[in-house]
Amino acid sequence: MAYSILLAPPAERQLRALAEPNQKRIVKRLKTLQNNPRPQGVKKLVGEDDLYRIREGDFRIIYAIQDKELIILVVKIGDRKEVYR
C-alpha cells in the first residue's frame, strides 16, 4: 500500500530554493514516506490538526497524512530555525 506524495506549491518552491545536494537528500527522504508515512522519529505537531514533521539533517519536512486517499501532502520544507514560523 504505497502512498502518493504531493507537494503544496509553497513546499515545491521551498524545495527548489535549496542547494542541489540538500534537494536530493530531501527527495530521497520523501520517497521513503511512500511505504511508511509514520517512520521512527516522526513527531505530530502540537496545536495543529494532523500535521507531522520529520528531520533530514538541519531541515524539517512538515506534512499531512490522508489515510483514506493514501496521500501525503507536504506543506512546508525548510531549515529548522525558520520552518515553524
Whether 85 is in a domain gets the answer no
State how far the Cα of 33 lies from the Cα of 52, in Å rounded to an integer. 12
**Residue located via cell numbers 502518493:** 4
Q: What is the pLDDT of residue 49?
A: 80
Q: What is the pLDDT of residues 18-27, one digit of tens each?
A: 999 999 999 9
Q: What is the pLDDT of residues 11-48, one digit of tens each?
A: 999 999 999 999 999 999 999 999 999 999 999 999 87
| Owning domain of residue 40 | 4-79
Q: Which three cell numbers stand for residue 33?
A: 514516506
Whether 37 is in a domain gets the answer yes
Whether 56 is in a domain gets the answer yes
Percentage above 90 pLDDT, the chain: 85
Give the CATH number for residue 66.
3.30.2310.20
Whether 64 is in a domain gets the answer yes
**Whole-model pTM?**
0.91
Number of structural domains in the chain: 1
State how far the Cα of 80 lies from the Cα of 85, in Å rounded to an integer. 10
Q: What is the pLDDT of residue 4?
A: 95
Average pLDDT taken over every residue of the chain: 93
Q: What is the pLDDT of residue 50?
A: 87
